[in-house]
Amino acid sequence: MNQWLLPISVLLPMAVGAALPLLGKKSHRTLHLVVLAALLLQAVFVTWLLLLPQIELPLFAMTDTLTVSLRMDGFSKLFMAVAAYGFLAAGIFAFRYMEHSQRQESFFTFFLLSLGAMVGMALSSNLITMYLFFECLTLLSMPLVLHDRTKESIRAALKYLFYSVAGAFLALCAIFFLARYCTTLDFQAGGSLDPALAAGHETLLRVVIFLGVVGFGAKAGLYPLHGWLPTAHPVAPAPASAVLSGIITKAGVLAILRLIYFCVGPEFLIGTWVQQALLGLSLLTVFMGSMMAYREKQFKKRLAYSSVSQISYVLTGLFFMTAQSVQGGLLHVVFHACIKICLFLVAGSLIFNTGKHSVEEYHGMGKAMPKTMIGFTMASLALVGIPPFNGFVSKWYLALGALRAELPVFSWLGPVVLLISALLTAGYLLPITIHGFFPGPKESVPEKNNEGGPLMWVTISVLALLTLCSGLFARPLAQAFGAMAEALF
């Protein structure tokens, strides 16, 4: 019986989302209540699922080889929970943020549809199903970007679409080769590559696996397919950027995780050029993202570059292929989602209340919006990785894992790049706090406002407190993820 919960948890937000336009031009209050009910119900559902053991449900077969089926394992739970709770927080924030928008029902429709696709991705039990939901997620989250319907936003949305589809086709290339050389397309911890079949085709396989990882990396903002992130985020409404950056990019991480650890198997890649090339790309992305963020003045674009950099922390963890590094990566998935959603909501709140987009205009903001700016400061400290905030914990495991990997060059280069990037992170986030609370004597201080009402500042504060609490009490999560990571090797 429990197995039917899986499709329900995918279809529930999708069905509600698809039904929203049917509400017609009812009051926004009704709309918000329906969306809130759906998000809460989904969160409850997911919480319930977290307590259940692994369940599986084959849905149907398109052909003999192409089957669609769902399964929930530990990794599904992780990504599913991040999605459900993250969307809940951003959704609540959006009720206020989108208040003046003409097209609220369109926003919330695609918001809920994206949530459904993301949960579907987490619950996929084979590559085909995951590919299906990956493409769905692209198509359904694209309208979030072009919400404003300006020329610029439509162009940004198409850019996002093309990058993602290009990535997906690169990945498809890997998938159909793996379909030949793996015993099955179902996910199996440790991979299902058939050594007898693969013998003699190792180079080919490694090339296509590399392409596949780079392809899925498009969603995760991995260089060289990261270009859509800094274009799409600034034009999207803040709650949409929050989930795009905090959660939907994690779909790329999940896809890469499934590809490397559940289809190919890490031992096929450890020590090969593929691992080194991927590490090179991800470390380059970490550094480059931070650098670009440091130089960027527009706040949301800065955060977008920051995401590019931070998600590559996770990918670096996956590419080092040790239990600790994967553990650190998984922790960073959760922590970064929490931090980045908080930061984007802060950006949303600042724009909503003051209409200012550039960090140079935020001087003295701490006086005008103290609660929001305190939340921002906490999230910034967490992202930099200062204990006892949660970012410290994940980065600790990442660095530890890198050192344990015992690779030439990368084992020390990895932690060094992570440190430099952390410095840059401090460089692009903390000055906003400093100028916000301590503006120069000659600068005019913006007027105090109500910080967008409780719906905004409470959401931000809760997320900010979470970054602290999940750092202080990271032990259970770290242990659980450690066990999951161990099982992969």
Chain positions contacting other proteins, by CB under 8 A: 60-64, 66, 68, 128, 131-132, 135-136, 139, 142-143, 146, 149, 154, 157-158, 161-162, 165-166, 169-170, 172-173, 176-177, 179-180
Nearer to other proteins, 176 or 273 (CB): 176
Q: How far is the CB of 235 from other proteins (least distance, A)?
A: 13
249-260 b/e (C-beta count within 10 Å ≥ 16 → b): bbbbbbbbbbbb
Phi, psi at 355, each rounded to 5°: 75, 15
Closest CB to other proteins among residues 142, 478 = 142
Please state the closest distance from residue 177 (CB atom) to other proteins, in A: 6
Return the bridge partners of 193, or none.
182
Contact 38, 16 (CB under 8 A): yes
Considering the complex, what minimum distance in angstroms separates the CB of residue 118 from other proteins?
A: 17
Min. distance of Cβ 67 from other proteins in angstroms? 11
Closest CA to 117 of 103, 137, 87, 101: 137
Q: Which is nearer to other proteins, 144 or 477 (CB)?
A: 144
Burial status of residue 26 (CB atoms within 10 A of its CB: 0-12, 13-18, 19 or more)? exposed
Tokens of 54: 């692994």
In the bound state with other proteins, the residue whose beta carbon lies nearer, of 2 and 184, is: 184
The two structure tokens encoding residue 194? 């058939």
Choice between 132 and 359, CB closer to other proteins: 132
Residue among 131 and 319 whose Cβ is closer to other proteins: 131
Enumerate residues 6+ apart whose C-beta is below 8 A from 139. Answer: 161
Find the shortest distance in angstroms from Cβ 354 to other proteins: 28
Q: State the minimum distance, in angstroms, from the CB of residue 62 to other proteins.
A: 5
Contacts of 228 (CB under 8 A, 6+ apart): 156, 159, 160, 162, 163, 164, 218, 221
Q: Closer CB to other proteins, residue 109 or residue 309?
A: 109
Question: Toward other proteins, which CB reaches closer, 130 or 330?
Answer: 130
Give me the least distance between CB of 382 and other proteins, in Å please: 36
CB of 364 to other proteins, least distance (A): 38
Are the CB atoms for 86 and 241 separated by under 8 Å?
no
Whole-number Cα distances in Å, 407 to 137, 412, 482: 36, 9, 21
Chain CA centroid to CA 240, Å: 12
Q: What is the DSSP string of 139-163?
A: HHHHHHHTTT--HHHHHHHHHHHHH
